[in-house]
Amino acid sequence: MKADRGFTLIEVLVALAIVAIGMAAVLGALSSSADTVSYLRDKTFAQWVALNRIANLRLSGQMTPVGNSDGDTDFAGRNWHWRQEVTATEVPGVVRIDVKVRPSDVKAEGDNGWFTTVSGIQGDAVGIPNGYLPDWGSQLLPGQPGQALGPRSQTIGSGGTIGVLQGSPGGGTPTGGSLGGPLTLGSPETPPPSTPPPTDPQTPQDNPQ
């Protein structure tokens, strides 16, 4: 009878090598996924830091001077380094702001290593209104009493009147009127037709024979 034969040393080593290669591939995929999630998290935080920087400049009430500057700020329990580039535009009184952000512990030179770049504008230009008043059509909900909005007769309900628009359909000055109850804006071109009062039926006259 033949003796029982087990695995040789070479077969065991080959099996262990296959298992090691497979486990290394799985661990590499998990590590890459974790690094991707961490990078996306830091990139999102960097964008928020840049947006906050632009918002603070707009809310400061002062025009940001043209030029470059940098600094550090704390956000989400981490220190961030930002660089601000302000350039003039072709529109007078309007500047463009580019803010680049990266974690302070990420060492980079020049324009390398930034996690995000957010652009915004700031200006003191104010447009002049042209006085155009568009006709928005009917502003009533289904089943709500009232008339559709016209160029000069605009009804939002039935009842209290806000005022009368005088002038052209494109604009006017509200005068008079009162507040309270469902609101009416404007006055119609012509008064609504009134219902004639009922009349007594005519009594038939006797015809002469």
Q: Assign 3-state DSSP to the chain and report helix, strand, coil percentages, each to 5.
A: 25, 25, 50
Compute the C-alpha angle 139/155/158, nearest 5°: 115
Structural domain includes residue 198:
no
Residue 154: give the domain boundaries.
Answer: 136-188
Write out pLDDT tens, residues 102-151: 999 888 776 778 999 999 999 886 667 677 777 777 666 666 665 544 44
Per the listing, tokens 């009349």 go with 199
28 burial type by CB count under 10 A (0-12 exposed, 13-18 middle, 19+ buried): exposed
Residues 23 and 118 occupy one common structural domain: yes
Residues 113 and 142 occupy one common structural domain: no
Q: Is 56 helix (H, G, I), strand (E, B) or coil?
A: helix
| CA dist., res. 52 & res. 192, Å (int) | 57
115 burial type by CB count under 10 A (0-12 exposed, 13-18 middle, 19+ buried): buried
Residues 83 and 144 occupy one common structural domain: no
pLDDT at 173: 45
Q: Is 156 helix (H, G, I), strand (E, B) or coil?
A: coil
Contact 182, 160 (CB under 8 A): yes
Write out pLDDT tens, residues 76-97: 889 999 999 999 998 888 999 9
The domain boundary, picked from 101, 123, 145, lies at 123
Residues 34 and 115 occupy one common structural domain: yes
pTM: 0.51
Structural domain includes residue 207:
no
> Tell me, what amino acid is at 118?
V
Structural domain includes residue 141:
yes
Residues 29 and 96 occupy one common structural domain: yes
